[in-house]
Amino acid sequence: MNKYFLKMFLASFLSLLFLEILFKIISFSSFFDFELLRIILFTLVFSLITAFIYTLFKPLIAKILTCITVFISGLYTLLQLNFKNFMGNFMSLSMLGGGGEADRISNEVATFIASIRLEYYLCFLPLIILLVLFIWKKKWFQYERPTWVNSLIVVVVFIGLHIVSLLTLNVTPENQLKTNKDLYKAPTLIDISLKEFGVNRFFIRDLIYLINGDSIHNIIDIEEKPETPSEPTDYTRYIDDTAWLKLMENEDDEIIKNLHQYYMNQSITDKNDYTGIFKDKNLVLIMVEALDLAAIDPELTPTLYRLTQNGWYFDNYYAPKFSCTTGESEFIALTSIIPSNSVCTPFTYVNNNYSSSIFNLFNNSGYTSTSYHGWDDNYYPRTQLHKNMGSTFYNADTLGFSTSGGWTSDLSLMEKIYPMFTQNDKFFSFVITVSMHFSYDFDDATTRKNWDQVKDLDTGISMKRYLAKAIEFDQSLEYLIDSLEKDGKLDDTVIVIFGDHHPYNLDFDYLAERSPVDRYEDLNEDLMPFIIYNSTVEPQVISKTASTFDIVPTLANLFDLNYDPRYYIGKDLFSDEETIALFPTGSWVTDKAIYFASKNDYKLKDDSVDEEYIKEINRILGNKFTASDNTLKKDYFKYSVLNSSTR
């Protein structure tokens, strides 16, 4: 065998394998498992083909190409590690090209770089060693012209190893949400894909999916339609599917027809004692930037605290972080559709039909829907997206706010928009705050304004800045409630508050020490406040598992809107149906169990269930991920029937 080729191959293989093992240990705290064997095979295959191609060139060019390959791999590994550290999730190439959080990072480059942990720089160690070897140990890499026999051997070995590596995809860990073969074709569950395939093969598959992902559609395994009770009750929700059945019968597109079958076979949630409790009342739905449990304080944020005591407080509510966290938390809250992990959904699918959105549900019941944000459309195309969802959107430009001086004050935003939405007889107003946004590494106008209230707290300075920002939101909430009461509208208005994600770029220890639960246990990192407040109802704490996906069906039931529960991933939280807080990693929480996708492990909370329950929930969620992915790619609601008569 050609010694020059062997040395170049080993230089590449050992460098890339080091990066794989480093990434695996840091990200998943694992080493010796079957995935490592697959990753070694993938690395062998890639190193063989690249070494074979590079050694066809002159030695200097071959060395340069090898160094470039190792540099790109090292840089990509570091970016993945720090993106997870900085934003709470791994990244995909499609998402980076679609705005959202990628744009935010580009505007916070210094903060992003400053957040890189020391151990992440080990990603450049293989490149440094290669440069040392190539420059000071030239004799180790004496050029030899490859013979056709050597080339044939390399090609045969490459083909053989490639086939073997692909055969390992037939081995999928028991209970895993999707098979490795499906993930290899469409690596949309990023955490699992990275764990199963390694960082370099994921990069390749992600790149391929970026190019042809729109053409990939999996067929949903249709489960049997839930049996309807033989004896209807006063709570039975009736939906006429005649038009839908006719539409499905005449559909030629296999994927659309499959979606018709899937949605039609979902359960129709019954009505309950809470159905219509807020019928014809107004709604102010507030998505609070970076709202965390740690922000609830009787002294610093008294209005927010009062609402947790006097409203309906959900203490087991999760805000799952998808690839474009803020934009996709908003997307989930408005549609109850699972965003695509491989793209920034609000950008990629901005022009889809969203006839099932919460805006349209309220519009169809005679409300005027409007939405507001104190920033421009730089990060997300909300003006167009909300229009397609049925709302008139007002951003910083249309509201007359300048964005040159930092994040807009939530109090200023509320003062500006309150007269706008309350002039409507029946209003649904969606408000997106921004004052609590990172960074917490420097003072801005908001922190300076409220600094005296936090400066003496026994916590870190970045946490003090965060709490100073939280005070600004609390003041906006106080203004809203006081204004509604003054205008005689408080009893007839429901205020719903949820957060998009916990504060990024803030030492999590600070959040944990101010939280009422152990934030490091299970999936509690994403536990967030969720509050429904109306001055006419009795306060209560609701501990049923809940998430952002449940907002649409829950509010639709409370306001007795004309809606079909089968179209939504979430459930009405006041129904008897089981709710599942699902995460982009494939992890999930129910009242009975917790599943940790990256470890393929679970924790039972109810002795009445066992591993079969885990498998069943994973099967259900696998179908939900596929259904949402196909729904977005096919713009399904353009073909659906949403005017079925209900009563």
Same domain, 373 and 298: yes
Last residue of a domain, one of 197, 215, 233: 215
Annotate 65-87 with DSSP letters as a single string. HHHHHHHHHHHHHHHHHHHHHHH
Distance CA 518, CA 530 (A): 18
Same domain, 167 and 256: no
**Token duo for residue 295:** 């922000």
Q: Is residue 234 part of a domain?
A: no
* Packed helices 199-212 and 59-87: angle between N→C axes, nearest 10 degrees: 80
Last residue of a domain, one of 196, 215, 234: 215
Q: What is the CATH number of the domain that holds 305?
A: 3.40.720.10
pLDDT of residue 640: 81
Distance CA 90, CA 344 (A): 13
For the chain, report the end-to-end CA distance as a whole number of angstroms: 78
Same domain, 439 and 342: yes
pLDDT of residue 44: 97
295-296-300-306 Cα dihedral, nearest 10 degrees: 150
The domain total for the chain is: 2
Distance CA 392, CA 374 (A): 15
Annotate 428-486 with DSSP letters as a single string. EEEEE--TTPSP-SS--HHHHHHGGGTTTSSS-HHHHHHHHHHHHHHHHHHHHHHHHHH
Edge-to-edge strands of the sheet including 588-589?
A: 581-582, 588-589, 593-596, 601-604
Same domain, 134 and 255: no
Q: Which residues of the chain have pLDDT under 70?
A: 1, 95-108, 224-230, 642-647
Task: Name the 3-class secondary structure at 292.
Answer: coil
Which residues span the domain enclosing 195? 3-215
Give the tens place of pLDDT for each residue, 222-242: 876 666 656 777 899 999 999
Annotate 125-153 with DSSP letters as a single string. HHHHHHHHHHHH-GGGG---PPPHHHHHH
**Token duo for residue 279:** 């019928």
pLDDT of residue 42: 97
Distance CA 223, CA 210 (A): 30
pLDDT of residue 643: 40
pLDDT of residue 566: 96
Q: Is residue 624 part of a domain?
A: yes
Same domain, 118 and 247: no
DSSP H helices, 88-241, are: 93-96, 101-107, 109-114, 125-136, 148-167, 180-185, 190-197, 199-212
Distance CA 335, CA 568 (A): 7
Residue with tokens 């946004």: 437
Q: How far is CA 25 from CA 30, 70, 80, 462, in A?
A: 5, 19, 13, 29
What residues form DSSP beta bridges with 602?
Answer: 595
Residue with tokens 């929930």: 617
Residue with tokens 């509050």: 531
Same domain, 165 and 279: no
CA 293, 299, 302, 308 dihedral sign is positive
pLDDT of residue 189: 92
Same domain, 210 and 305: no
What letter does residue 545 receive in the DSSP assignment? -
Same domain, 248 and 159: no
Q: Is residue 231 part of a domain?
A: no
Q: Is residue 237 part of a domain?
A: no
pLDDT of residue 405: 78
HEC sequence for 297-344: CCCCCHHHHHHHHHCEEECCEECCCCCCHHHHHHHHHHHCCCCCCCCC
Last residue of a domain, one of 215, 250, 275: 215
Residue of 330, 422, 432 whose CA lies nearest to 376 = 432
What does R_g of the chain's alpha carbons equal in angstroms? 27
Same domain, 127 and 176: yes
Same domain, 277 and 207: no
Same domain, 202 and 257: no
Distance CA 233, CA 243 (A): 25
Same domain, 394 and 519: yes
Q: Is residue 144 part of a domain?
A: yes
Q: Is residue 226 part of a domain?
A: no
**Token duo for residue 108:** 């916070």
Q: Is residue 232 part of a domain?
A: no
pLDDT of residue 342: 79
**Token duo for residue 273:** 């004692």
Q: Is residue 623 part of a domain?
A: yes
pLDDT of residue 33: 84
pLDDT of residue 47: 97
